[in-house]
Amino acid sequence: MKVTTLIFLSLVLWGCSREDDAPLRSSSSGYDLAGKHLVPAIGKIVGSEKIMNNTLLVDRVVFSTNPVTFGSDRAFAVGSQVGEVLIYSQEDSLRHRVALQSHSPVLEIITDSSQLFAIQLDGPVCAVSKSGKQLWQNSHGKMPQCNSLFTGERIIVAVDSSLVMMNAKTGAIETTISFTLSPRSLAYDEASKKTLLALSWNTNDGADSIL
């Protein structure tokens, strides 16, 4: 008989104690920071314009993420299978086509109102401004196992048996927290500044239990 238990492991993140409202942040993984399913409102046509630069035309691109908007803006970004980030205006016109340093697929894109973070298959994490400028790139060297988080100060990536916390401004790896089970899902509580992590292990009968 499959027995499933669910306990959330809370990891308290240090940080500033400002009372300012946090900016809206979204992820192409399909969930917001509280773990609720997110369906971004994109693609609403409010005008049109002619694009003259042929280098911005997209041909035979295989997208690897869902599109994700920049905060409340209808402009959006999407990742590709060959390590690119494509940034579109709210009229669906391609504005920037950014080739990342690694050509591995982009697994997830996280945004706020002014920038995005591209999480790639083989470990790189890249920060790109909304205007298409690459801000920094660093790699934790492992394949992400579930959705990642942007807390405002840090990027948190769950890899095999550990959480990697990276400085959102510089990309520097600040700390790594290890555990023995496999990560399944991440969520962040703005009020308590805590990260909620669901872990799992496989039982002998093949059932998957959640801790």
Tens of pLDDT, residue by residue over 108-139, are 999 998 999 999 999 999 999 999 999 999 99
Backbone angles phi, psi at 197, to 5 degrees: -125, 125
Q: Give pLDDT tens digits for 5-34.
A: 333 334 333 344 444 455 566 676 655 555
61 versus 107: which is more confidently predicted?
107
Q: How confident is the model at residue 208 (pLDDT cuts 50, 70, 90)?
A: low
Residue 101 and residue 141 in contact, taking contact as beta carbons nearer than 8 Å: no
pLDDT of residue 17: 40
DSSP labels for 86-124? EEE-TTS-EEEEEE-SS-SPEEEEEE-SSEEEEEETTSE
Backbone angles phi, psi at 138, to 5 degrees: -150, 165
Tell me if residue 154 falls in helix, strand or coil.
Answer: strand
pLDDT of residue 29: 66
Q: Give pLDDT tens digits for 79-119.
A: 999 999 999 988 778 899 999 999 999 999 999 989 999 99
Spatial CB neighbours of 162, under 8 Å, sequence gap ≥ 6:
176, 177, 178, 179
Supply the DSSP symbol for 54: G
Q: CA–CA separation, 156 vs 176, rounded Å?
A: 10
Using alpha carbons only, give the angle 56, 24, 26 rounded to the nearest 5 degrees: 55
Q: How far apart are the first and last CA of the chain?
A: 17
